[in-house]
Amino acid sequence: MKICDILRADKVLSSMEGTNKTEIIDELINLFKDDERIKNLEEMRNAVHDREKIMSTGVGKGFAIPHAKTDSVNEIIAAFGRLDKPIDFQALDEQPVNLVFLLIGKESLVGPHIKLLSRISRMMNKDEFRESLANATTAEEIYSLFENEEKQYFENA
């Protein structure tokens, strides 16, 4: 399963408005209001926030990957947001976050969920890719960056 199989261009925000971790996560979750793949938006929201309480998903280098597994979704879904002003996400490296990738999987799809988390993490570990995302100004540009990076990943895999 590829990232661009689950990340849709209409679920990408090029300039997020939230000023703290909760607002940022909610802003991404709210993109799924009225999405046919969601059974219960509030259960999904609670699952992500509950997971975040266990340990911050701010993995470092300005990047966070809030995620959860819940049966309030019909399939694995994703959203991505870029912040103009980095925020404190209680990241592992204690640096502020300006790139956030939300991943929500179905309880029964643990394997694909873990593989996607790993793939996203590998892509986001590339300094050049993160810089390109941070400098992107439109959702279309961000989505295109993910498509191109993933093509390179598969060509080199």
For residue range 132-143, list pLDDT tens digits in order.
999 999 999 999
Residue 67 appears among annotated catalytic residues = yes
Q: List, for residues 9-64, the tens digit of each pLDDT value.
A: 999 999 999 999 999 999 999 999 999 999 999 999 999 999 999 999 999 999 99
Q: At residue 155, does pLDDT exceed 70?
A: no
The percent of residues in the chain predicted with pLDDT above 70, rounded, is: 97
Structure confidence at residue 113 (pLDDT): 79
Structure confidence at residue 154 (pLDDT): 63
Q: List, for residues 65-76, the tens digit of each pLDDT value.
A: 999 999 999 999
> Tokens in use for 12?
């990408």
Structure confidence at residue 153 (pLDDT): 66
Q: At residue 156, does pLDDT exceed 60?
A: no
Domains of the chain plus CATH, in order, are 3-156 (3.40.930.10)
Quote helix, strand, coil % in the chain, to nearest 5. 45, 25, 30
Determine which one of 67, 69, 82, 106 is catalytic: 67
φ, ψ of residue 59 in degrees (nearest 5): -85, -15
Decide the pairing of beta strands 58-60 and 7-16.
unpaired
